[in-house]
Amino acid sequence: MTKLMLVEDDERLSSLIAEYLAANEFDVHVVARGDEALARFHAFAPDVVVLDLMLPGLPGNEVCRQLRAVSQVPVLVLTARDDSYDQVALLEFGADDFVNKPVQPRVLLARLRALLRRAAPPVAQTALVRPEILSFGALEIILTDRVVHWHGKPMALSNTEYKLLLVLAESAGTVLSRDSLLKKMRNIEFDGLDRSIDNSISKLRKKFDDHDGERIKTVWGEGYLFSPSAWE
């Protein structure tokens, strides 16, 4: 649950807000005095603060300044003021957003969720790193050098043969149509007559002793499949 500290001296309002937010997966901790807010903040360690401006002990703008001095936790201010100058001043005090009174609980909830989304750290994205070497039994494709080894010896491949072998190997175990192969290799579509893929497949089979078509399989009516377990 999201931990929320509500600094509000109006008992009826604080009860209403706390009850509504608790029903929406917030753990609400209520503080009734401004001069107690900072100490209670350190003790409770909330994820977000909802702060009234008119508080006994210490006004809300000063509470906001104190919080900003020690934390970047999102702060949403409740205000009865409808003046744009005052609203700008709230943001300058360090508040992240504000909701005008009388408070509409659904609006408050929506603003809080938006604040928390903005404050959440970005999700780490794992880069899709292309491997430097593709290895299948006795076959090694060294991408950084564009070199292919078969049983430890370098193979003499044309540029087209190398590209075709690489595209097939990168999709090992998956049937690739002629159209898909042409798009990946040359960014063109298969016109139904182009036999370049079939010719290159034939040449690759000869160079890798694949006379029975077990390493690069023909799947009739679909295309070709690089068999990852057949390269011993």
Instruction: Let me know if 90 is exposed, middle or buried by CB neighbors in 10 A (0-12, 13-18, 19+).
Output: buried
CA distance 171 to 177: 12
Q: Compute the mean pLDDT over every residue in the chain, rounded to the nearest whole number.
A: 86
In angstroms, rounded to a whole number, what is the distance separating the alpha carbons of residues 88 and 81? 11
Flag whether pLDDT at 10 surpasses 80: yes
Q: What's the confidence (pLDDT) of residue 121?
A: 66
The arithmetic mean of pLDDT across residues 194-202, rounded, is 85
pLDDT reported for residue 136: 92
- Angle of helix 11-22 versus helix 105-119 axis, rounded to 10: 60
Give the model's pLDDT for residue 216: 95
Q: Which domains does the chain have, with CATH numbers?
A: 2-119 (3.40.50.2300), 133-226 (1.10.10.10)
Task: Say if residue 154's pLDDT is above 60.
Answer: yes
The model scores a pTM over 0.75: no
Q: What angle do CA 63, 69, 75 make, to 5 degrees?
A: 55
Lowest pLDDT segment from 6-15, 31-40, 47-56, 114-123: 114-123
Task: Work out the pLDDT band at 91, boundaries 50, 70, 90.
Answer: confident
Q: Can you tell me the distance from the alpha carbon of 145 to that of 141, in angstroms, rounded to the nearest whole number?
A: 9
